[in-house]
Amino acid sequence: MSDDRPVALDEYPVHQAPLSMKHLVTGDRNAYDRCIFQVFDHEGRALLIAGLGVYPNTGVIDAYATLRIGGELHAVRASDALGDDRMNLSVGPLRITVDEPLRRLTLHCDADPDDPASLSYDITWQARFPALWEPHHIQRRGDRLMLEGRRFVQAGSCTGTIRVAGEEFAVTEGEWTGTRDRSWGVRPIPGEEGGRAAEELRPEGFHWLWIPVRFEDRFLMVITQEDADGYRTLSEAVLVRDGHRDVQLGWPQTDISYLSGTRRPTSAVVHLTGPDRKPLELGVEILASSPLALGAGYPPATDWQHGTWQGHGWTDRRVYDLSDPAAHPMAAYGVTDHSARFTLDGRTGHGIFEHGSFGRHDPSGFTSYAAVAP
């Protein structure tokens, strides 16, 4: 007898195709649906990143959490077989509960029963502004569709407790900020032969910025993606305020100051344009940094990547030493989330300066994959 029976979501009028909600319209193995949260204090002491994803066509669900404190990155990862209950956002010790869609969510991580000092947390994430659509993201190599994603972004406040290594952080409103991103579509999962796209169509360069910023009375989102010569394939700058129409802020241009010998930003200025055509400058001061290729499963991670089958009930915990930048060379070829303090038009806000720059990027003066700031 087939086990392809209706699932609970099939009771609701939410179908987009004549299929069970268990199945996707696409059969692409790289189909995904996931989220990421950033929770951080305003002094740069702690940066928590947590996420969960499902990969319906490979039958995998996984989740992760990383906490950057000082020179250490504490990581928890879990993976399992994807079940039929898609509203159960939990795997291993990690859980996300949607208390009120688009408004309030709960993030939870159990401590390791054999190590009470291991990373654990209970956090309520409360939206302070409406969710904002990001531009439809499409990326091809030659004729091959590599990525097609739909995303929304949101900023809010957080309350709760983070515990690790005998230390406890009280997450309080006004002293901590939370940002998040929800995305779904098609995105490469490791395990597939790259073929011609990998052999002949490797990008010469990639330059990425994703910048959600929460101010007291407004939310700002900037996103750009550029090729090696600076040609822009993604560009958006939008200001959101409750009760007001969203305001577009022109074609963002960013000047980034890098630590000498690296591509690690220390500060930046994002040049925006108001509806009155007057220039606006978004100042960026980096507070704490967390490479997504360490612990969080983003490429080019060498120990675990999203969507890969690890077996039933897999959980992994480890601590990465980030005090020596040379200890994890591949992290430089992945995207890094930086918590940051921002200034705009006399206001101070907090958010994430997510940045990745690999290979040649003519506007920045980087000539190859090995090039770094002078």
Average pLDDT over residues 267-292: 97
User: Reduced to 3 states, what is the DSSP secondary structure of residue 364?
Assistant: helix
pLDDT band per the 50, 70, 90 thresholds, residue 142: confident
Instruction: Please name the CATH architecture into which domain 30-187+198-364 falls.
Output: Beta Barrel (2.40)
193: pLDDT strictly greater than 80: no
Average pLDDT over residues 98-106: 97
Average pLDDT over residues 199-219: 92
pLDDT band per the 50, 70, 90 thresholds, residue 221: very high
Name residue 222's beta-bridge partners.
211, 237
pLDDT of residue 367: 97
Handedness of CA 94, 118, 354, 219 (dihedral sign): positive
pLDDT band per the 50, 70, 90 thresholds, residue 235: very high
pLDDT band per the 50, 70, 90 thresholds, residue 209: very high
Q: Are 263 and 334 in contact (CB under 8 A)?
A: no
Average pLDDT over residues 338-359: 97
Average pLDDT over residues 157-175: 97
CA atoms within 13 A on the CB side of 263: 29
The pair of three-digit structure tokens given for residue 215, joined into one six-digit string: 């101010």
326: pLDDT strictly greater than 90: no
Average pLDDT over residues 50-78: 97
351: pLDDT strictly greater than 60: yes
178: pLDDT strictly greater than 60: yes
CA distances from 134 to 3, 77, 78, 218 (A): 37, 27, 28, 17
pLDDT of residue 1: 37
pLDDT of residue 251: 97
For the CA atoms of 150, 152, 153, 156, the dihedral, rounded to the nearest 10 degrees, stands at: -150
Residue 60: CB atoms within 10 A of its CB come to 21
pLDDT band per the 50, 70, 90 thresholds, residue 359: very high
User: Reduced to 3 states, what is the DSSP secondary structure of residue 266?
Assistant: strand
- Residue 265 CA, chain-centre distance (Å), reads 17
pLDDT of residue 199: 75
| Percentage of residues of the chain with pLDDT beyond 90 | 89
Domain ranges of the chain: 30-187+198-364
pLDDT of residue 253: 98
Phi, psi of 91, deg, nearest 5: -155, 125
174: pLDDT strictly greater than 70: yes
| Percentage of residues of the chain with pLDDT beyond 70 | 99
